[in-house]
Each structure stands twice: as C-alpha cells, then as structure tokens.
Structure 1
C-alpha cells in the first residue's frame, strides 16, 4: 500500500517546541485521514532544527466507496418537504427514490446515495493546507510582503518549502500538488545549512532519510541524542573523566543541531573554587554544554563537552577555543557574584550585628519584593512562614529556635546576585551562604530543602527542621492562592499548587508524620490575616478549608494510585467526618484494602450492599429515612435479636479500636458481623405487611450501614 511523506522546511525551530510540534503534526494529519475513511498501518513524526517530517505507512490509494440509505418524508408530504429531501439526497426527481412501508409510520421515501471514494492524493491536497495554516505553535510569526494581508500564513519561523509525496514502495511516488501562501509542494528539500545547502530530490521515505544523511542531516532526534551521549562519554573516558549526564540538556542540544559534532573545551582551574552547582548552571545555561568530573574525587574537572553543528577543517579546535573563552567570561561573572554575595552590603556597613545573609533578608524586606499582587511581599510571606514553622516544629520533632531561624532565612538568597542571575539555584545558594556565615547545619540544610520535593523523582526532606520549614512554605502557598481563588484549572497550574500539595503528602507519608491538616490550614489563614497580604477580599474561611481538604484528597488519590492503591477506598475513608490526618487515612485505607480482600470482607460488603439497596428503594418509595434506633420489643425472629446484639458490640469494639488507631483490629471486629448479617437475610423477610415490623427491620438494616461507617463509608467502595 502507498506511503505518505510530508516535510515542512523552515528556519530554525526552537528546540523546546520540536517534540510537541512533531506529535501535533502526526495527530492532526492522521486524525484528518481517519475522519475521511483513510485508515493507515503506522505513522511516525520527526523533527530537526529546520524541518518537521511525517511518514505515514500503508494508506489506501483511495477512499472507500460510500453507500448510504437516506430516509425521507412520508408519501403525500407537502411539496416543500419533498424538495428538501431531494436536495439533501442529491436526486433530480422523486422518481429516483424508492418507497418503503412501515407498519406504524406508513409509506415513506428512501434514497440510496452512492458516492465513489476520492483518490487519496486529492484528499491530502484538500486537508494539508488547512492543517499547515492553523498549526498550533505556542508562538508564531508572519514574514515578507504578504504578512500584512489578512489571513497570511503564520509559522514558528519563516517556512521555505514543502515536500509531499505519495506512492507505493516499488514505484516512484507522485508529488501531492497543493500550495500554501505561494509555497508549492514539491519533491525537493535542502540538506545541512552550511555543509550541504543544495537542493536534494526526495522520493520515498527510505530514500529521503539516506539522502538527508548524505547531505549531513540526521533526521531522528533520538539518534542524534544517542550520538551525542556516546561521543561525549568516549571523549570524557579518553581523558580519565566521566560525563555528568543531563537528560534535559541532551534533549535541548539534540534540537539545536542537525549533524552533531562532539568536542571538548576547557576553562581555568581557579574557577573550580566556585560551588560546583554554579559552574554547572553557568556552563549549561549560557553555552548549552555538559560538565565533566573526576571519577576518583567526584569533583568537577576544568573541561566541558560542547556540541557543534559543523565539521570544521581544523577538527573543531577553533570552535572549542571560542566556547572556552565565552565560558571563562561567564564563570568570571559567576565568581564575581559568589564573592559579592559573601560580603556585607554597603548600606549596612554600620550594622555589624547582621550577617551577610541577614542583610540580604533586610534588603528583600526593604525593597518590598512582591510575591503576588494579592498576597503581599516576600517579606510578609516570610513572616507567615516563620510563624507557621514555629507551630509545626514540635509536631515534627524539630527544635523551635532552629526552625524559626531557618524559616526567617529561607527566602534571603532571593536578594543575592547569584540567584538573580540563576533563579534555579535558589535555596541551594542560601545553604552555601548560611554555612559560610556559621549557621547551624540543620538551618543551612533547611534553607535548601524547604523547596523539596519539586517533583515525583525528587527527594523528600527528612531532617525535622527542614520538614517544618518545607511544610510551612507549602501550606502558606496553598492557603494563600486558595484564599484569592487562584486554583488549578484543568491542565493549567501556573503556581505549581498540585506540586505543593503532593509535596506535603509525600513529606507526611514518607516521614510517617502525624499532622491535623485542617488545624494547620486554618492556622495558615490566620497567619495571613496578621500580615498586610491578602489585600483583596478572600474566600470565606470554611469554604477555603473544605475545598482545600478536597484538593488534598484528590492529590492523595493520584499519589496512592501510582503506588497501586484503590482510589475508591480513599473516598470511603475521606467520606467520614474529621478525616484530615493523611498518615492515618492511608493506614486506614491499607487496612480496609486488606480486609476487603478476605472472604469475610467480600461477604460483608455484599451484605452491606444488599441492606443499602433495600433501604434506598424503600426510603425513596416511602419518602422517609429509617435512621432511628430499632425497637427490641418488635424483634420477632431470633436472627433479628442476634444481628442487633452483634451490631451493638461491633460499634462499641470498632470505635475503641479506631480510637486506639488499631485499624486492623477494627477490621477484625467488623468481620464478626458476617454470620449475623448472612443469617438475617437467609431467615428474615424485611418487607412484611405489618407496618411497624417492616419499619423496625428497615431501621435494623440502617444499623448495619451505621456500624460499618465506624470504619469507612462502604457506599464509596466499587467492585
């Protein structure tokens, strides 16, 4: 079957956009083909800095023929209805329709519409211009004289040419002819900008890939990445060093070159006195280069890996030397920042009682750096975090004075030169500066760790001081944005609130920390009211707390689902009143899961559902709720008395076990209900004619519902 080859050739596409653009191109084209009845065997998209390419395998040569019966009006309908039917069915007269009979509706007209399938190239020529003109680039531009005209083509960078061929592997494919803003599709592309800029004739995909490679272009980004990684490791190994791998940087660099040439550069050893993270950030951010380290010491080496996009005649010596000069200049700037941040600020020359980092904090407050226009300044936020950290410290086993000190300095490095240049180093530089000015090691560590975890793969702080400050920071963030009604919506979460909530969850669960969440969320609201933040009217306090707790429940479901737990069991526990201790919720969920996996648990769940279903039906029919206490005097069967006694014992013993946080014990107590419930349903008829007896038995069923709620809301359990 024929294949489709489509290439869109342009000026350089930003590396960060390439993967998404390739995926979008594949989805847009293949979805449009399938919508038109053109199914395919496989499709893959590619991206280089100057081209997007799509290869679709196994397309049919034409659309399938369409045969459709179109039902029309009844015989004898008004002329207007008949004419409308003829027009929609494409018939010249009503004689071309057939008449069918229906026992209920009588006789009506039916038209058989047959449409032959169109050739696939014609369909492609119809759909591709629209896809190209409406391509969803995050940012795009217009260019040239035509850019001033309405509806002018927009592309990420000027689009130069389009390749579009279609045909079987065994034949020379045809060019699919269409035009987009004066750019006519052809079978010619271009190779590498510098090493092979001439036109390259294109046929089928395999020929296209090999022709591009001869023209110094490697189409597959994953292959470019592997070349860079392998060559970088080999060059490092040859010098007795090892590559510090960086997947994000590797992805970006592979999107900057069409023909990767890996080289080694160097810088002065004196710059290794700067913190290793600063050296790496400088080289990474400014030159898109990889750092190397000595495997014997683990320290960075004064060499780096760069990736060029050209094979130079001198083997890349001039390119490496040029990059080395730029790296040295950048590291000189970083060294200046490093030295400056460690010295007292000029405006505090008479305040020798203030250490350099404290001075940065005072500058942060004096400059009134805004955290958020509705949530006050960073200084005000620090005050809230300090107050909250002091309250959290005893609960997490942290020294209150250390937690207070760490919280007060946590944001001070935002006013340093280094963090101003490299924002990604916030927290880390605070730790360095705190250690240099003699802070307690726990305080210095907390300044860095209070931002953690910053993702599912990031480590969780474990030192009690770090935990107290990290929790305070995240709870203040969540409460603040909830109070001004700036919550995540759909896929948008500009303030990383989902990450903050997941961070709280991981800290509590992985650290086995007990925390009454509602109290501290409420405390965080109170802290906000004591500062000048929250300048606009905030949401009602109960609404904030209720909504935030629901948000934590959703985040907990995501976290536990990734761990293999059932989200319905989380709902079953959260449905109970006062459930805000996440660690206890998880332990209860785990115990409930183990119980329901047993035979007793399965049978009790069946019995509960039977009772709940009968109650739901009868309560709806009667318009009342049978939530009263059953009258023992009305028990007519021994099974009723046995069930009532078992329920009373279960409620008493399960409550005691829950109070003692013995969730396994509570489940074992609940399991003792099974024989009584089974016997009741085997021997007792609930819906008897005697109204009083019936109502009493329905109340007994409600008692089953009430007793099980000592452990969980079984109505939330699925399966």
Structure 2
C-alpha cells in the first residue's frame, strides 16, 4: 500500500494560522480520500513558516469497484418514468433486467462503478482542497485566480511504495506538482528531490529546517532555560509566545541579550508586555530580585559571530520601545504622586454605556456597593470604598493606553506610589478577577468586596436596560460576570444575600438611567420590569450559571433544583453546601432508596388530597396505628425530626441528610406491610397524615419531588 506525501510551499504563513491550517489540511484531504473510496492507516500534518505538509501512511492503491442494483418503475409504467430512470442510471433499455416484484414486473438496473487509481483520486482531492482552503484571510497574486494565505510557490505530491515513487500530476494556475522542495531560506535555499516522508524529513533537517512545530518549541524552551540557568537566571514562562515564536522560524536559534540599565527600574510587567507584544522577546528575570534583566530572542538563522550582530540590532530596537515605556511610566508616576485627581476627572468624559452614564458615574455606584458589601465580606468599609474609587483610575494612564492588558496591574503600582493602603492597591489589581474559569480568585477582603461590587454593578446595569445575553451572543460578557460572582462567593465562603445586593445595584443603575434621561429632551431608556422583578430575573440568571458551574463539579442539575426550591436560595454558599450534602446522601444506597419511598408517599398523598379536596397535614396520631411497622415509622419520624430541625438550624446539612437517610428502612417496611387507603376512614386519614409527616420532615432539607428517577 503506498504512502502519500504532500507539501504546499509558499511565502511565510502567519504563525497564528498554522495550527488550524494543519488541522484543516489533514481533515480536508483525508475526508476527501475516504469519500472517494480509499482507506489509510494513519495521517500526520506539519507546518513551518513556509510550508504545510501532510503524510498519509498505508493508503489503498485504488478504490474498489462498486456494484449497485437499483429498482426502477414497473414494466407497464409510462415511457416518461422509464426514460427518467434510464437517465439517472446512465444505461440504455437493453441493459436493464425485468424481475418479478410482488404482483407486477419491474425494471432493474445493475450499475457498476469501476475503481480508480489512488493517484487520480489524490490529484482531484488535493486540487479541491487547495482551491477551497479555509484561510481566515487569503490573497491573490499575479494574474491568476488562485487564492492562498501568501503566494504559493510549489506543490510536492508523491505516492511511494516498495516499487518506487510516483509524482501525482497536478497543475493549479500554472503551479505544477513535483517531487522537489527547498530548504532554509538563508542557510540552504537550494531545491532537492525527495522520495518518501522519511527522506523528506531527513533532508529538510540537513537543510536547516525543523519540520515539527512541537520540536521547534521544545528546542527553543530547552535551550533558553539552559542558557538562563547557566547565568543564574530564569526565563519567564509564556506558552502563547512560545507557540507563536515556534511558528516564525524554521531553524530556531535562541539568543540572550542584555536590557540597558536605564530600563531596569521599570515594573516587570511593563518590560514583559512591551517585549512580548512589540518584539516577540521572552523575558529573563533574576530570581533573587524578581527584576527582568535580560531578554531572549529567537533568530531564524545561524551567523558567524554567533548572533552578536543580531543581538546588537535587536538591542537598539528594544531600547527605542522601552524608551517609550519609560516615558509613559515617568509621566504616570507624576500623576500618581499628585493623587490621580486628573485621571478621576478625565473619567467623567469617558462613557461606560450611553444608557448608564460615564465611567465616573459607574465608579460612584461601585464604591457605594463595595461599602455595603464590606461588612458581609469582612472588609473595612472605608478601605473598600476607597479601593473602588481608585481601582479604575489607571484607565486614564498613558501606560494602560499603550498596553490595555496592564489595566489593574498598573493601578496597583500607581496606588502604592500615591500612598494608598496596600490593601487598596491590591484591590486595584485584583478587582477584575476572576476573568476566566482558570483564573485565581481574590481572597483579600477588600479585593473581594470591590470585585463583587464591580461584577454585580455590571449585571444590574445591563439588566436594568434590558441588554441580556441571547443565545450565543453575550457582547458585554455578562455570563462571565455572573460566573465571577459565583466563584468569588464560593471561594471565600461569603454569606451574603444576593437579592439584597442586586436590589442595591439596581437602585444605583436606575438613578444613573434617570440622570441620562434628564439630560435628553426625549428619554430613550425604559426599564421593562419593576426593580423587584428585574432583581428576581437576574438572580435566576445567576442560578442558571451556578447550575453549569456545579455540573462541572459533578453535582446533578435536579439536585441543584431541589435545593433552589428552598428558602434562602440567594445565599450561594448555603445553597451549594446543601446541594453537596444532598448529592453525597443520594450517592448512598439508603439515600437513593429513600427517594423512592418519598416519591411513593408524595404521590399517594397528592392523589388523595386531589380526590378528597382536603389537605392532610393536621398530624397523625399514634393511637390509630396498627402493626409494628406503622408504630416503627412513628418512632423513626419522631427521631428524625428531633435531629433534623436542630441540624438545619445549625446549617449542618450532612447531619440532617444522615437523619433523613435513616428513614429509608422504616419507610420501606411501612409500604411493604401497610395499606394506606384502608377501608376504615379514620385509619386511612391517619395514615395519610403520617405520609404528610414524611413529606414535611424531608421537605425541611430539600424539595425531593424535584429529584429525577
């Protein structure tokens, strides 16, 4: 069985597009081959800045001959029906067969589709792949119509087996396929012939090309860390930059250079961001001081002076970039030491949302909310309010204007320089967190208070103007804000009433909306629901995000629903504590079986109440009990009630669930031995009231009727 090798050789492919291009090339070609009837053993795709490569091992030599029998119209059908059948099969009438079929005779066609050689199929599939390749951006060049990410220079396409190698003939807008490729642009630019994938990979390496992006990344990282270690330094990890740089070079040569002394006082984050964004340099820090002292660049060539000229040139460019960063830093420090009043005033002219006022208006709302939340979180009210007022001031700084990703980080530096309390400065840095599901969650009380206030204000504001997420659209990242609230509350065991916090957030935003409308001749903002209904709807949205969050933690949605139905469901810490205890109980045999007993009791009771038109909740009397099983259930319910009530009062859900699970055996025994709907109406009523006790006692813990199964 032959092996297929394809290489599409072009001008430099942007690094950010290479990983997806590898996947697309592999999928498009292999899917096309399979659809045409070929099979293969394995396939692998590779990329460098100038080439996309695909190897397909164990490809079948040709597609199989297909024989298909197709049933046509009856022999006495109109001629038009027969003519249409003949057209669809490509046969003539004398090539058809007449067969008996039930009560009539019908025409049958035997259509044979001969197999095709692999080379013909590969040529067809590859041409279609090239012409329809899904580049995010593509271009045309010269006078042709072919589009590619960058001008395509050559196509290598060969099939090889023990008997030899065959070039798959292909001509796309004058680019003819062959069995040659080129090495490194500078170190080995000549073309050479290849006969197999192993031959191809070996000759590329000899021509200074590492084909595998993962190998290039490993080479860069290993060489960089070893070089830094030898000098007592550490390379700052940056997986994204490593992936990007490995897509910029075919023969990576890591080189370490020195940052000029006049820039070493800049914050490490500024140096790292500037070098990463502008130069694609790795930062190298001194582990003893935490300072960034050197940079590491990755060249695409080897030089006689071992990179000295390259480093000198890069050093000059870096110095120019860092001079800008130093200018921004020095100017910002002057503003910070002056109290940042100019920045605060500047935010009055920055619109947060045209219906919700300016950034300065929003800061006022967050400050008020942070002060309200502080006692619940355990934070100092004055510090929480102060932190909220200064947390976003760095948005007006020159440094954040140049590097928006440093917002918050720079806010902490500027707050410290202006003499703020360290807890206030830390809150400026941390209040945006958590941004994603893997981000760390702030734990310092002042930071938590401001982070919660920030996210709750965002949610309340957009709910107030009815700008909610719809389907997959969430332009204001409100799902992320809700998840942030959930993680902040749960990670810090915060005990707060979300409903109260949402009402407070809505009040502030409704005042902002009123202020916006007062400035307009024709008010354009109207809240569709009452504030209370809006807060309830927003709480429901947060609950929906909580379900997703807890599902990933292994807690079923019906368990969460059973707990959401209980009072106090706006206390997320209490809610999750209850859900985890219920989940643990249901994982036991007693818990799972108790649910069945509860459902049986609930169903019998519900049906009886509907039939009789009364509510059986007036207390069962032990004197009407008959038999040991019924008496045992009375005793078990008394014991469970005595344990569950104080356990619930103490929020000891595990103890409450354990007491409830202990009802499993007496409930099972009761239903096995006792007929609830007795002919004696007094006994029947007493037993229905007994079932009501089961429902009532279990209902203190969770709404078990919502548990599935």
TM-score (norm 1): 0.86
Match of 1:360 among 337, 343, 355: 343
| Pair 1:219-2:223 in alignment | no
Match of 2:181 among 171, 181, 189: 189
Report Cα offsets for 1:320-352 as digits up to 9, x if no partner.
00111111122221111111112249xxxxxxx
CA RMSD after TM alignment: 3.8
Tell me which residue corresponds to 1:298. Answer: 290
Tell me which residue corresponds to 2:159. Answer: 166
Q: Distance in 2 between matches of 1:137 and 1:299?
A: 41
Q: Distance in 2 between matches of 1:440 and 1:523?
A: 27
Tell me which residue corresponds to 1:406. Answer: 387
The 8 Å contact of residues 86 and 94 in structure 1, kept in 2 or not, is answered as no
Report Cα offsets for 1:95-143 as digits up to 9, x if no partner.
72453545xx877665554433333333333333333333332333333
Match of 1:418 among 362, 386, 399: 399
Q: Distance in 2 between matches of 1:697 and 1:442?
A: 62
| Pair 1:330-2:321 in alignment | yes
Q: Distance in 2 between matches of 1:58 and 1:695?
A: 77
1:684-699 to 2 correspondences below 5 Å: 684=674
Pair 155,576 (structure 1): closer, same or farther in 2 beyond 3 Å: farther
Shift of 1:29: 2.7
The 8 Å contact of residues 95 and 109 in structure 2, kept in 1 or not, is answered as no
Q: What SS class does the counterpart of residue 602 from structure 1 fall into? A: helix
Q: Distance in 1 between matches of 2:204 and 2:612?
A: 76
| Pair 1:382-2:363 in alignment | yes
Tell me which residue corresponds to 1:27. Answer: 27
The 8 Å contact of residues 10 and 159 in structure 1, kept in 2 or not, is answered as yes
Shift of 1:464: 0.8
Tell me which residue corresponds to 1:51. Answer: 51
| Pair 1:41-2:51 in alignment | no
Shift of 1:707: 5.5
Q: Distance in 2 between matches of 1:452 and 1:331?
A: 28
Shift of 1:444: 0.8
Tell me which residue corresponds to 2:521. Answer: none
Pair 695,85 (structure 1): closer, same or farther in 2 beyond 3 Å: farther
Shift of 1:61: 2.1
Report Cα offsets for 1:507-529 as digits up to 9, x if no partner.
21121111222332333222211
Tell me which residue corresponds to 2:136. Answer: 138
The 8 Å contact of residues 100 and 109 in structure 1, kept in 2 or not, is answered as no
The 8 Å contact of residues 627 and 699 in structure 1, kept in 2 or not, is answered as no
Shift of 1:266: 1.6
Q: Distance in 1 between matches of 2:159 and 2:90?
A: 32
Pair 636,461 (structure 1): closer, same or farther in 2 beyond 3 Å: closer
Q: What SS class does the counterpart of residue 145 from structure 1 fall into? A: coil
| Pair 1:177-2:164 in alignment | no
Q: What SS class does the counterpart of residue 46 from structure 1 fall into? A: strand
Q: What SS class does the counterpart of residue 522 from structure 1 fall into? A: helix
Match of 2:486 among 505, 509, 513: 505
118-127 vs 478-487, which deviates more?
A: 478-487
Tell me which residue corresponds to 1:595. Answer: 585
1:567-578 to 2 correspondences below 5 Å: 567-576=557-566, 578=568
662-671 vs 694-703, which deviates more?
A: 694-703
Pair 218,693 (structure 1): closer, same or farther in 2 beyond 3 Å: farther
The 8 Å contact of residues 593 and 664 in structure 2, kept in 1 or not, is answered as yes
The 8 Å contact of residues 626 and 695 in structure 1, kept in 2 or not, is answered as no
| Pair 1:460-2:441 in alignment | yes
Match of 1:629 among 597, 600, 616: 616
Pair 73,448 (structure 1): closer, same or farther in 2 beyond 3 Å: same
Q: Distance in 1 between matches of 2:695 and 2:134?
A: 53
Q: Distance in 2 between matches of 1:452 and 1:65?
A: 62
Match of 2:427 among 441, 446, 451: 446
Q: Distance in 2 between matches of 1:70 and 1:627?
A: 69
Pair 630,336 (structure 1): closer, same or farther in 2 beyond 3 Å: closer
The 8 Å contact of residues 127 and 172 in structure 2, kept in 1 or not, is answered as yes
The 8 Å contact of residues 388 and 450 in structure 2, kept in 1 or not, is answered as yes
TM-score (norm 2): 0.87
Q: Distance in 1 between matches of 2:76 and 2:118?
A: 42
The 8 Å contact of residues 626 and 702 in structure 1, kept in 2 or not, is answered as no
The 8 Å contact of residues 160 and 195 in structure 2, kept in 1 or not, is answered as no
Tell me which residue corresponds to 1:62. Answer: 62
Report Cα offsets for 1:345-377 as digits up to 9, x if no partner.
9xxxxxxxx933232111122xx2233445443
